[in-house]
Structure 1
Amino acid sequence: MTDRLILVLDAGTTSTRAMLYRRDGRRIATAQADLTQYYPRPGWVEHDAEEIWRQSLACARRMVEQAGGPDRIAAIGITNQRETVVAWDRRSGEALHRAIVWQDRRTAAECEALREAGHEPMLQRRTGLVVDPYFSATKMRWLLDHAPVVRDAGERLALGTVESWLAWKLTGGLHVTDASNASRTQLMALDGGDWDPDLCALFGVPRAALPEIVDNAGAFGETQPDILGGAVPISGMAGDQQAATIGQACLRPGDAKATLGTGAFILANMGETMPASAHRLLGTLLYRIGDRRAYALEGSIFVAGSLIQWLRDQLGLIEKAEDTEALARSVADNGGILMLPALVGLGAPHWKPQARGIITGLTQGTGRAHIVRAALESLSHQIHDLADAFAADGAPWRLLRVDGGMSANDWIVQDMADILNLPVDRPSDVETTALGAAMLAGLGSGLFSSLEEASAMASPATRFAPAMHVKERAARLRGWRAVLATQ
């Protein structure tokens, strides 16, 4: 069995992928397909759930063919964009509405009403999460209130996040979610094991429509034989940021990682201690495997790689993301330009859904390189805000491990090390989200006996040491705080 492969489905925000891993952690093949983004109104972000399924299946079939058939696949792991909500019909298996994406802000008014009613302290204490449109519960309620086809589905209605949708489609009707994704809905208490009836009642989400909550590793079910050419076990599932934390081998309390993808997400392993933030960070379940639980403290930045996409697609300042590194290096500094990248509001630790983006300091001498450099610098500034919040909550970073598409840019990683005044490690394979799902699938299928054994799949890292003068760092942060204060 040890020569068989692990297939991972990684359904992200801008694309979905399938990857093949060997037991030693080597990634031997990847198939990728873009996902269409829909913006029906300002602040609204949607996906076509059927497109997520079609593209994920097409990528998976390519990997099965490359592996030499389904018999060569020992297990499937699934990881996904978290908080995104799908509603579908249990009988037909068809989506009832476009998926509402984690970035979507349409429920800001409902969240404000919950805060005004005094529910946020209780919700943060019980779920680890602040009240914000980011999370799944208000999205589910919005569908029930505003989409008649969802409201009228009755007992046929199934609600879930993206891993639930994929598991249902792969198996022909298995309705499950893993504990890490469930912890992001605001419908499961952090110390609970099932949907909380009081939380479901508060948000008005019917318990009968929700999936069964399962561990992050185990024997969940098998694919229908006609899907991949044979029955293949699904044995690992996790939300993308928890999966990346595992893929970075952040298995000890205090280990911290930052994934630089569409957004940027920093998680610090808190061990068995259930986190309680006094500085508007999030408490989340890192993983649940049998009787073992691990928690994490998390800070979420909503705009990271999507800012680079915006520079390319909306402003035309770059042709491809890789251009940003050369442009940032082509100027001595930002030329006085500062950027607040609040394209979909501000996430942790500020939580300002109504914030809007700002570019300030423009002069006749401003060139596109200055704007691009200021955009990259804004990521380091936001991560520095989170570092302060983590330290204030008693979880200071000793070292930060980075991964995700943006971390391939050496300039960005060095700038983060400089602004944080900390060493930053980048693995040789930055696709640690998929790797974490592979580790969980390997554990769930019996390829490994523990997560610690599975962590041998992690790749070696390159270290970036801080090299910025203290006065330059202080000046950068003063400028950032001045722009932030305008919101």
Structure 2
Amino acid sequence: MRIAAIDQGTTSTRVLVADTAGRAEVVHTLRHAVTYPQPGRVEQDAAELLANIRLALAAAGPVDAIGLANQGESCLAWDAASGEALSPVIVWQDTRTGPALAEMARQGVADEVAARSGLPLDPYFSAAKLAWIIRSVPAAAAALKAGRLRLGTTDAYFLDRLAGAFATDRATASRTGLMNIATGAWDPELCRMFGVPIECLPEIRANTAGFGQIGGTPVAAAIVDQQAALYGHGCRHPGEAKITFGTGAFALAVTGATPPLTALAAGLVPTVAWDLGDGPVYAIDGGVQDAGSAIEWAVRAGLADDMADFTGFASPPAVARGLVFVPAFSGLGCPHWDRSASPLILGLQPDMTRIDIRQALLEGIAFLTADILAAITAHAPLAAEISIDGGVSRSPYFAQFLADCSGMAIRVRGFAERTAFGAAALAAHALGMDLPGPADAGVLHTPQDDRAEAWRATFARAQERCLGWRSAP
């Protein structure tokens, strides 16, 4: 049996073909444009994303089933009759809804939103983005008046257009701010508070409930990308965790069958990991907003040619020489939730070069990730080692530095396509089969440097200076 898994991510769309003989290979990858029309705004073209999914599926050839992993909180509006997008895709990194959310906080609804959705009032999540579309895009307002408006995360748009299923999965819905974390259904009161018509939202289904057909091939499973990676890493039991380094860096740890609502007080996000048809399994989540996107900035700025420039450094850590880089290009997520934070470089000396800045940038991503692991560990025990994949995880220097500054054992997986493999494995599960996991022991990095506590204190002092910067007078 052959399964095609579409990983529709922030910067690319790729298709992995896996089979029950243990083979798994990405057969096609397409990059797409990300635009920044104004400060704080991050957008994509829905038609381009849809076309790339079609091309990727065509490259996969004949398959028996399809799994879809989506980029999470990115969302849009479209016309139910024509299927045409009425807005750009507003990407998860977009912060345009900050003022509206601040006003909601002043009205005293933050605790009610958190109690119902499990999520903080932050531009990261979809609810305020969808409300902004209704308020600010005339075509969407007209479609609403005519009874033709559809709203949702990108997966719902793809499934509607390609598979004839206006639906989303429970894990993705838990990232919107509109789903009740306890009931797994759209919450009428949350929809009212945000100003999102509940009748315009897609049906919520279990992750393996089936999502229509594309060209006669069943879409057997759908899931948000980070939860797909969690499943793809083989994490099934409480305490098992992974970190995926893509555009951002996202740590998820399985917690069990009860919503971990107390996690929010620690700056973490309770979320649905997956629902295989017998009820939700929950996880706690923490994210670094800028990981791969910070590396891409360095390339655009002429500080590096590509990721290969971040793979090794001969000198001592930059932080040990007083150089610190806080890569808060999109603000800070967990555990600070300060989207007004700004990137900051401290400690530059006349003899330092772009190599030193690259090293400090890589260390900054590791420090922010270590903050998340510390928050998760304080909330719930973790397994003996953390599995990581993607992007900067391929840098041995980064992996070892993360082990040192977090004080945890870090295993770098050689097979990096954990998100796509997770979607494929879920599709196989929906068909009553198991996909054998890639034979991949990876490389284990254990803490080696006893100076890490002092380094973290240095980074924390720098991080304090970047908090609230964009809102400062």
**Offset of residue 170 of structure 1:** 1.3
* Corresponding position: 1:176 with 2:162: no
* Corresponding position: 1:400 with 2:386: yes
* Corresponding position: 1:74 with 2:53: no
Q: What code does the residue aligned with 1:466 have?
A: T
Q: What code does the residue aligned with 2:210 have?
A: A
Report the equivalent of 2:363: 377
Contact 1:25 1:435 in 2 (8 A): no
Contact 2:242 2:253 in 1 (8 A): yes
Deviates more, 1:14-23 or 1:130-139: 14-23
* Corresponding position: 1:330 with 2:322: no
Report the equivalent of 2:28: 31
Contact 1:127 1:190 in 2 (8 A): yes
Unpaired segments ≥5 residues, structure 1: 65-69, 226-230, 449-453
Contact 2:239 2:380 in 1 (8 A): no
Secondary structure (helix, strand or coil) at the match of 1:220 reads: coil
Q: Deviations over 1:365-401 (max 9, x none)?
A: 1111110000000111111211221122234453211
Report the equivalent of 1:267: 252
Report the equivalent of 1:451: none
> 2-side partners of 1:467 and 1:402: how far apart?
15
Report the equivalent of 2:459: 480
> 2-side partners of 1:434 and 1:310: how far apart?
26
2:41 aligned to 21, 44, 51, which one? 44
Report the equivalent of 2:211: 220
> 1-side partners of 2:201 and 2:296: how far apart?
34
Taking structure 1 as reference, are residues 341 and 397 closer, same or farther at Cα in structure 2, changes over 3 Å only?
farther
Report the equivalent of 1:106: 96
* Corresponding position: 1:200 with 2:191: yes
Taking structure 1 as reference, are residues 25 and 202 closer, same or farther at Cα in structure 2, changes over 3 Å only?
farther
Q: Deviations over 1:117-167 (max 9, x none)?
A: 222222222212111000000000000001101111121111111111111
1:161 aligned to 153, 175, 196, which one? 153
Q: Deviations over 1:66-98 (max 9, x none)?
A: xxxx3xx11100001100012111111111111
Q: How does 1:13-412 map to 2 (within 5 A)?
A: 13-64=10-61, 70=62, 73-154=63-144, 155-171=147-163, 173-223=164-214, 225=215, 231-276=216-261, 277=263, 278-313=265-300, 315-326=301-312, 329-334=313-318, 335-396=321-382, 398-412=384-398
TM-score, length-scaled by structure 2: 0.95
> 1-side partners of 2:211 and 2:131: how far apart?
28
> 2-side partners of 1:394 and 1:101: how far apart?
30
Secondary structure (helix, strand or coil) at the match of 1:10 reads: strand
**Offset of residue 446 of structure 1:** 2.6
**Offset of residue 24 of structure 1:** 4.2
1:462 aligned to 442, 465, 468, which one? 442
Deviates more, 1:16-25 or 1:350-359: 16-25
Secondary structure (helix, strand or coil) at the match of 2:185 reads: coil
TM-score, length-scaled by structure 1: 0.92
**Offset of residue 206 of structure 1:** 0.8
> 2-side partners of 1:151 and 1:459: how far apart?
51
4+ residue stretches of structure 1 with deviation over 4 A? Answer: none
**Offset of residue 236 of structure 1:** 0.8
> 1-side partners of 2:375 and 2:447: how far apart?
23
Deviates more, 1:22-31 or 1:380-389: 22-31
1:435 aligned to 401, 421, 431, which one? 421
> 1-side partners of 2:203 and 2:123: how far apart?
23
> 1-side partners of 2:93 and 2:440: how far apart?
32
Contact 2:245 2:391 in 1 (8 A): yes
> 2-side partners of 1:200 and 1:383: how far apart?
32
**Offset of residue 197 of structure 1:** 0.8
Contact 2:14 2:26 in 1 (8 A): no
Q: Deviations over 1:439-484 (max 9, x none)?
A: 1111112324xxxxx5x324422242324322x2122111101111
Secondary structure (helix, strand or coil) at the match of 1:141 reads: helix
- C-alpha RMSD over aligned residues: 1.4
Secondary structure (helix, strand or coil) at the match of 2:307 reads: coil
> 1-side partners of 2:103 and 2:438: how far apart?
44
> 2-side partners of 1:24 and 1:413: how far apart?
31
Q: What code does the residue aligned with 1:191 have?
A: A
**Offset of residue 264 of structure 1:** 0.4
Taking structure 1 as reference, are residues 311 and 174 closer, same or farther at Cα in structure 2, changes over 3 Å only?
same
Q: What code does the residue aligned with 1:413 have?
A: A
Contact 1:407 1:430 in 2 (8 A): no
Q: What code does the residue aligned with 2:316 have?
A: A
Secondary structure (helix, strand or coil) at the match of 2:285 reads: strand
Deviates more, 1:383-392 or 1:434-443: 383-392
> 2-side partners of 1:458 and 1:202: how far apart?
45
Secondary structure (helix, strand or coil) at the match of 2:340 reads: coil
Contact 1:218 1:443 in 2 (8 A): no
Query: What percentage of aligned pairs have identical amino acids?
Result: 36
- What is the aligned residue count? 460
> 2-side partners of 1:464 and 1:417: how far apart?
9
> 2-side partners of 1:30 and 1:299: how far apart?
31
**Offset of residue 291 of structure 1:** 2.0
Secondary structure (helix, strand or coil) at the match of 1:130 reads: coil
**Offset of residue 292 of structure 1:** 2.9
Secondary structure (helix, strand or coil) at the match of 1:461 reads: coil
